[in-house]
Amino acid sequence: MPELPEVEVVRAGLEPAVTGAVVRAVTVLDERALTRHPGSGPHFEAVLTGRTLRAAARRGKFLWLPLSPGEHSLGDEALVAHLGMSGQILLRSPGAPAERHERVRLDIEHPDHGELAVVFADQRTFGSLAIAAMVATADAAPGGRGAFEPSIPSQVAHIARDPLDPAFDDRRFRETLATRRSAIKRVLLDQSVISGVGNIYADESLWAARIHPEALASDLPTRAVTRLLNEVGVVLEKALAEGGTSFDAQYVNVNGQAGYFAHSLNAYGRTGQPCPRCGRPIVRVSFMNRSSHYCPHCQRPRAR
């Protein structure tokens, strides 16, 4: 599943192309892409056509494009996107042939870039698009990366801020960990505590911080939590600089290009290979219907 770096790469690619663009036409080819939208395909097409896309914003793994007021709108709204397991948002030339697994297409017109097509493709159909109302943020800060207003789509309001968000509250994160008698990796994957971190970057951050994935969050000393927060930020920033992690053709940016962070992984997917730090084998264990990858020597059950 795409995690924060992969989604941020898509947001950054969309931002200059869609900000200020008018939606001239909307074509829903598969209504399974609208599972979170409170209406039908024709309703989605009607409420979106003619609206201006005002920005490209993100919190955690959710993207949204704030919309200008429309004939059918009841207030501030946004086009919300979640990529699910295999979703892609691609920029194409107007009239370009349909993409494989294309579900929805927006034909837009930008004052500087002219006509473009924004294509939502999704092989496994777990991703979604929806029009959602905007609500005020709990902390009065902008909703997320790329957002300028203290508002967020109602469908994203339950998602915590992510570590690359300037408004992320380190102190609150430490206080939350102190109350959690759960494995630290489970907490890192809880999007209501810290967003954008999935299985890959949880493993990489814990390896970098020398923390065992099953260590209890509440037992971690302050210095270990500080180290972990720092490493989460470093790992995410590095992955973002390399375009995210691509293991197959599904994880691409808006131009269909893959990321290269897979070449920089230290723990995830390296079962049996030597730990880059100590040379002992990386192990893989089952975790929440997934897998954890770590070094038993470097990542002891009791963090220091």
Q: Which of 223, 290, 300, 304 is catalytic?
A: 290
Is 166 noted as a catalytic residue in this protein?
A: no
Residue-wise pLDDT for 253-285, tens only, equals: 455 554 435 557 899 999 999 999 999 999 999
Instruction: Name the E strands within the chain.
Output: 22-28, 57-59, 62-67, 77-82, 87-92, 102-110, 114-122, 128-136, 151-153, 283-287, 290-294
Averaged pLDDT score across all residues of the chain = 90
Is 290 noted as a catalytic residue in this protein?
A: yes
Residue-wise pLDDT for 79-116, tens only, equals: 999 999 889 999 999 999 999 999 999 999 999 999 99
Is 124 annotated to bind ligand? Answer: yes
Is 180 annotated to bind ligand? Answer: yes
Residue-wise pLDDT for 209-244, tens only, equals: 999 999 999 999 999 999 999 999 999 988 888 765
* Domain annotation for the chain: domains and CATH numbers: 4-156 (3.20.190.10), 170-294 (1.10.8.50)
Q: Which of 11, 54, 61, 105 is catalytic?
A: 61
The residue to which tokens 């989460």 are assigned? 232
Is 24 annotated to bind ligand? Answer: no
Phi and psi angles of residue 3, each rounded to the nearest 5 degrees, phi first: -110, -170
Is 185 noted as a catalytic residue in this protein?
A: no
C-alpha 239/C-alpha 248 separation (Å) is: 16
Number of alpha helices (DSSP H) and beta strands (DSSP E) in the chain: 6, 11
Is 296 noted as a catalytic residue in this protein?
A: no
